Structure 1
């Protein structure tokens, strides 16, 4: 099989370990997400593409590969959907998932001009990307401080949910679930950054809900960030193809998913035809 990593960082620990597992019997290649989509040769496609491409050029490249019939994990549409926190929250809530209530502001400066904001809140860039804005705001002074740097940034606002400062990080690769506690970036620093979270200790309904996320968002490799509120899970973020660092068995699960997809035994999930949600294209899921 020919497995292609669509990524600018093939040395990422998860991808590198997966490639090492595959290379004794299979060919593993790397395709730079900056490649011109028009340069795709439909006669020389890999059997499966593992996509950690999130830039506009990378997503366009993934779309071109899909248009030529190549299986891509995850699809460009599903990846792009998870970059828009407004569309993410809207779809999750419409699907009945326990997602934190989210409102949107066209620019952070509007929040400074509107004195109706009730703190504490969490303010995030609407569009998820490296080095985006994620901050807790407890008062007007903090809001003005953020606005000095991010005034024109489109943002989402989520009411702050009191918690113990530890996020439940759950990752799904195909049929396998992995988990750990990770110190929230909004919490006070702690001596430990991570703590073990055995999947067997998670309630069955939590696992069912996390798998439901993959169905709703048409994701095959994804992460879900949860808070525990009165014993129930509350989703605060969903990520397409996260790092899944340090999880025993994750490279094996990804290698298995890649080979099953390449052999036609697994069909990548895809989003149904898009419709407008809060100005962003999303649609119901289809298996």
Structure 2
């Protein structure tokens, strides 16, 4: 198969997804890697039907890679994940509306284009977690404990575009990050970015039935196959605070091969939406479970 990976500069040296690209190349597939933030592309000529079997995106929110992915989808190419699903979670304000409307445990969410407007949120809703609607990697996330503190930190959020604010969910100071790869779920625990002093390194933890059901529902609601969900265990039960369309998959056993197999499955299906989950196939040493087509060295740019 011939695949195109769109990798933003922020992830240029990350193992995920570049190690996946290398694994696919080792299995005999052709993998082209484009860096949307540092490339000149004759987009109207290069993005065309038949150019690749599937396009895969690893990008920061708001990066140029999503436009390229949407261009590929517009000419009928398969994208991983489905580009409509990615758009639905990249905008955190939109994701909050979709999630709450479809019954996911998502906090009440306020949105404002100017931080000053957040001062209109009732004092009873504090503490608040405020962050950019297009944020990623913890950028500009603030725990605001009072209306007075909002006046102090608000100017730091100027220029971040649309902001969202959600009432803080009391918790133990740790987050659950649950990864989904082709229907299989893997849970890890880590210190919350709002409580960096907890000192809990990311580690695998057992997955409870209630959290597993919610994470599976996230995939159904947003139409995602490869994704991660940030969950807080609040006093009223699990709460979904973020959804990522192509996370790091840290602590997932044999993550590179698992994700590579999932990419191939989605590419061969011709769609990245609502695939039935099944047991992971075993790959013979040096082999590719789906056959080899389009041999060639991957262009890791």
Query: Normalized against structure 1, the TM-score is what?
Result: 0.83
Query: Normalized against structure 2, the TM-score is what?
Result: 0.79
Contact 2:190 2:203 in 1 (8 A): yes
Within 5 Å, give how 1:187-202 maps onto structure 2.
187-197=195-205, 201-202=206-207
**Mapped pair 1:172 → 2:180:** yes
Which stretch shifts more, 67-76 or 2-11? 2-11
In structure 1, the residue corresponding to 2:198 is in which secondary structure? Answer: coil
Q: Deviations over 1:22-47 (max 9, x none)?
A: 22222222022244532424255121
**Mapped pair 1:29 → 2:43:** no
**Pairing partner for 1:226 from 231, 238, 251:** 231
User: Taking structure 1 as reference, are residues 150 and 178 closer, same or farther at Cα in structure 2, changes over 3 Å only?
Assistant: same
Q: CA deviation at 1:92?
A: 0.5
Within 5 Å, give how 1:32-181 maps onto structure 2.
32-34=35-37, 35-42=41-48, 45-53=51-59, 54-55=61-62, 57-112=64-119, 114=120, 116-118=122-124, 119-129=126-136, 132-151=139-158, 153-181=161-189
Q: Which residue of 1 aligns with 2:277?
A: none
Structure ranking higher in strand proportion: 1
**Mapped pair 1:241 → 2:249:** no
Q: Which residue of 2 aligns with 1:273?
A: none
Q: CA deviation at 1:151?
A: 4.1
Q: CA deviation at 1:203?
A: 2.2
Which stretch shifts more, 159-168 or 211-220? 211-220
Q: CA deviation at 1:160?
A: 1.1
Q: CA deviation at 1:69?
A: 2.0
Which consecutive residues of structure 1, in runs of 5 or more, have no partner in the other structure? Answer: 271-287
Q: Deviations over 1:136-160 (max 9, x none)?
A: 1112332111122224643212111
In structure 1, the residue corresponding to 2:90 is in which secondary structure? Answer: coil
Provide the aligned C-alpha RMSD in A: 2.3
Structure 2 CA distance for aligned equivalents of residues 237 and 188 of structure 1: 18
Which consecutive residues of structure 2, in runs of 5 or more, have no partner in the other structure? Answer: 275-301
Which stretch shifts more, 162-171 or 21-30? 21-30
Contact 1:40 1:65 in 2 (8 A): no
In structure 2, the residue corresponding to 1:186 is in which secondary structure? Answer: coil
| Structure number with higher relative contact order (C-alpha < 8 Å, ≥ 6 residues apart) | 2
Which stretch shifts more, 255-264 or 93-102? 255-264
